[in-house]
Structure 1
Amino acid sequence: MSFIEENEEGKDLRKPFLHTGSWYRMGSRQSSMLSSSAQVIRDSSVSVVVCVLIVALGPIQFGFTSGYSSPTQTAIISDLGLSLSEFSIFGSLSNVGSMVGAIASGQISEYIGRKGSLMIASIPNIIGWLAISFAKDSSFLYMGRLLEGFGVGIISYTVPVYIAEISPQNMRGSLGSANQLSVTIGILVVYVLGLFVHWRVLAILGILPCTILIPGLFFIPESPRWLAKMGMMEDFEASLQVLRGFDTDISIEVNEIKRSVASPGRRATMRFSDLKQRKYWFPLMIGIGLLVLQQLSGINGVFYYSNTIFTAAGLSSSNIAAVGLGAIQVIATGVTAWLMDKAGRRLLLIVSSSGMTVSLLIVAVSFYLKDTISEDSRYYSLMGILSVVGLVVHPYLCKIAMVITFSLGLGAIPWIIMSEVLPVNIKSLAGSIATMANWITSWVITMTANLLLSWSSGGTFTIYMVVSAFTLVFVTLWVPETKGRTLEEIQWSFR
């Protein structure tokens, strides 16, 4: 079949896409309207999975950025003559850039689409990595890190929203978990490469995910729900048909999406005052609350304290230990993706927050025991075995337990639920606020971890434990189960 198919009058029956990434429906001839890529991607699940695999390059970039400072710290400080505080600024600037990117992400994805916003996010990431790779002093390092963070802030909002909006209801949980799974893969990749390559070469390798992502976006459809919201109804139906398969009847889903889009318009603008409506309070509380509690659980603080815990566990190479931990995180997140549409979001969140609470409690108690035993030797003979187990063996094991339990729920599910519960007409503004709240909380935890740990290690992990226990209560009382429900059913339930 030729690339351009014509009817008997010689008119083109198909309009190739660039912006929308879709084809127009042409009645009974629709099944013949295929580009070369669509000929291969015919099954609904295959089509959606291919789209997810392409946009997953964004979260891989996210993970690569997050993990870059860990294996490169010693080499960068030595080569550029930086102080520890200057390198700490370099590491934290990605969070600052991500806050700015998060603020802009909703409006960018609203005006130019999910695909367009990912293209926009790729450009500062590429420039940022090049600036770091050629840096001669701290100024280029800082500029590059800020640019990377800005791109990551957009990616962290856009990818989970795009995946949720294109996925069938019975696959949305598993496919949505691909976002967090890709982040952990990016972290693991940078840890492994950091063992073998120079930090400048590692920065050059950092441009690969986005340089592959940009051309890949031209071969996938735009989000049908965004197209419907913008009033592009022909494009919306064509995009949905490509995603669901050309032999699938999409009429019911089309009608549901049309009903859910209130007053469709190409440039409908949301204001903060619109979020004050009572019907939005509950989804806003759930979406923002879970993303904030995800960071308040202290997982970044735990990672910040990794080297000390590894040393206490008797491990001489913290870099190798970090690689092992990264591999465990990837495996645990993969298990979560498999369980998501079987066990459900709510159950996994309860298991995850419960496991985090128990793990943090054990770590907190171990530090309190350490202080007690060191101060009063009378208890040494009675608690010697307990102290050995508590201070040498279990910190590393509990860290593994924390990573596993975090990955089973709190790592991936808050992003999925945020993209599911926020109504489409407020998603751009509310999603930006939720994403920004997540990044601000992450920055606060990272910046305060060292101060808290110097004040009291046991007290620090007690605080994190209390937050995890509150997360368990929050999930049990307020978070609904969204498994097996369409986005429209979820959003209508809040009304």
Structure 2
Amino acid sequence: MAIGQSTDIENGGINRHEELEQPFIQPKRVVAHEDGDSGNTIKNGSIGMVLLSTGVAVCGSFQFGICVGYSAPSQSAIRKDLRLSITEYSMFGSILSIGAVLGAFTSGKIADSLGRKGAMRVSSVICTAGWLAIYFAQGATLLDIGRFLTGYGISSFSYVVPVFIAEIAPKNLRGGLATLNQLFIILGASFTFIIGTILSWRTLSLIAILPCIILVLGQWFIPESPRWLAKVGREEEFEVALQRLHGKDADVSGEKAEIQEYIVTSQSLPKANILDLFQRRYIRSVIIGVGLMVFQQFAGINGVQFYASETFEAAGFSGSIGTTAYACLQVPITLLGAFLMDKSGRRVLVMVSAAGMFIGSILVGISFSLKGDGLLLDWVPILAVSGVLVYVAFFSIGMGAGPWVIMSEIFPINVKGVGGSLVVFVNWSGAWVVSYTYNSLMNWSSSGTYYLYGAVCVLTILFVAKVVPETKGKTLEEIQASLNP
């Protein structure tokens, strides 16, 4: 992409770097406001529609969290009502990841062909069908089909929600708004855990449909991603969507010109497939996206999350108290991460997050080493609980949302679909591997498992420091220019 000067004659030759993405500007006023990152002067903007659009999109994230959290509070009731063996219920629990892995192959293509809103609608329909199958299940077969469908549906959500937010958000708010994806995943899982202890599993499956309904209805009131509309040549809709996002009195000529210039450049390239990602012009984006997802998962988060209660009990602490503290900690820390994402920057926050996870992993590892050696046994539960909570807190502040935010920013729009599919596939495959191997690793060596996760955290810091660029305060087009000079 050429980053040069361009003007809009109709609007008096406004410089293309006069970005129109700043918040807190009231319509029908002309305000001179300095952007702390670029020093640009911005006139007449509003972010009300951006916030509404983000709120609708994160209903998909909330659905994601509900799907992930559903099996925990419903396990005993489902097994009792449907007379399932442990093996049958294990299949029900794990088939979500299988559906998500398969969904990863199509998530990017659906988002590219039907649009970001279209992809979210398709996912909502698939998840709704899955929940209805679970509600009407009288045995393992329909139960598993429903769980598979919800896994397939949330795989698309895990890709399209952060991408949609990144494509509509002002550059100075993009990181914080994209982090809401992770926050609402956590809120969805926590909601399910709490409500699931009160309601029956069938009733819970019906309530789980509500975010899908809200998302589909809410899409009547929000625009499609302007960048996707420009990509597919829907020029009139592109201009209308861009204007709606910035406010009717905002001057969008600068951003419009920048997006169109980038689209023209990207469309001169051949249509991408999975093999094209490994061309020189895309390989750095692939390394960054895939690498971040590998480190996010193999640092052990799914093992720590899924088996937190058992870990607390193995260390001699109350599982229920520990998991309650775990759940209560995640929400405020994720909110803090959303605030810091656009203040400190992505790179710094991810590295600090990985460093904190390393400390947490080492504390848990030390607790199990002491227990194995019969030393300082009174300290074992304290170290284990402290370590897990430190690990979770630091994961929530950066490593949870950071890789998804960066993923949504680094791929050129012509390969965003196939690149996103690859990244989602890697993420879900890693999640399955870690959750599947956690118990085996703990049987091998409880302390060694957490020391291993700590080592991955150290590698994460080195990887981010050496490979990952800072994307804070840059438009998506500027990010591409820096990745492909």
Give the TM interval when normalised to the shorter protein.
0.7 to 0.9
Supply the AA of the counterpart residue of 1:277: Q
CA offset digits 1:351-383 (Å, max 9, x no partner): 10000011101211221221122xxxxxxxxx4
- Secondary structure (helix, strand or coil) at the match of 1:425 reads coil
Q: Indicate the residue corresponding to 1:303 in structure 2.
A: 305
| Secondary structure of 2:423's aligned partner | helix
C-alpha distance in structure 1 between counterparts of 2:355 and 2:134, whole Å: 40
Aligned to 2:413: 424
Residue number in structure 2 paired with 1:457: 446
Cα distance change, pair 334–64 in 1 and its aligned pair in 2 (3 A): same
Matched, 1:388 2:378: yes
State how far apart, in whole Å, the 1-side matches of 2:45 and 2:343 are. Answer: 22
1:59 aligns with 2:49: no
**Structure 1 counterpart of 2:354:** 353
Deviation at 1:97, TM superposition (A): 0.6
Residue 153 of structure 1 pairs with residue 142 of structure 2? no
Match of residue 466, structure 1, among 455, 461, 466: 455
Matches within 5 A, 1:71-220: 71-220=73-222
Equivalent residues, number: 442
Tell me, what secondary structure is at the counterpart of 2:198? coil
Does structure 1 conserve the Cα–Cα contact (< 8 Å) formed by 2:225 and 2:241?
A: yes
Report the TM-score, using the length of structure 2 for normalisation. 0.88
Shift of 1:308: 2.1
Which whole-Å CA distance do the structure 2 matches of 1:307 and 1:67 have between them?
14
1:234 is displaced (CA, Å) by: 1.9
Quick check: 1:230–1:266 contact (8 Å CA) kept in 2? no
Partner of 2:364: 363
| Contact residue 330 and residue 392 of structure 2 kept, 8 A | yes
Alignment of structure 1 residues 211-290 onto 2, 5 Å: 211-262=213-264, 269-290=271-292
Q: Which moved more, 1:81-90 or 1:42-51?
A: 42-51
The Cα shift of 1:263 comes to: 5.4
- Aligned counterpart, 1:39: none
Kindly indicate whether the alpha-carbon contact (under 8 Å) linking 1:230 and 1:264 is maintained by their aligned counterparts in 2. no
**What is the CA RMSD across the aligned residues, in angstroms?**
1.8
Please give the per-residue CA displacement for 1:150-190, whole angstroms capped at 9, x wherever unaligned: 10011100000000000010110110111101100001100
Native 8 Å contact 1:191 1:323 kept in 2: no
Kindly provide the CA deviation profile for residues 396-420 of structure 1, in whole angstroms up to 9, marking residues without a partner as x: 2221111100001100010000011
Alpha-carbon distance between aligned partners in 1 of 2:268 and 2:76, rounded to the nearest angstrom = 50
Deviation at 1:332, TM superposition (A): 0.8
**From 446, 470, 494, the counterpart of 2:483:** 494
The whole-number CA distance in structure 1 between the counterparts of 2:174 and 2:317 is 40
Structure 1: distance between partners of 2:154 and 2:392: 22
Q: C-alpha separation between the residues in 1 aligned to 2:87 and 2:452?
A: 26
Question: What stretches of structure 1 of length at least 5 have no aligned partner?
Answer: 1-30, 32-41, 374-382
Matched AA of 1:416: V
Which protein shows a greater Rg? 1
CA contact (8 A) 1:125 1:151 kept: yes
| Identity between Structure 1 and Structure 2 (%) | 44
8 Å CA contact 1:230–1:265 kept in 2: the answer is no
Offset of residue 266 of structure 1 = 12
State the match for 2:35 in structure 1: none
Check whether the contact 1:187–1:326 (CA below 8 A) recurs between aligned residues. Answer: no
Give the Cα–Cα distance (whole angstroms) in 2 for the partners of residues 326 and 307 of structure 1.
11
CA contact (8 A) 1:231 1:266 kept: no
Greater shift in the superposed pair: 469-478 or 300-309: 300-309
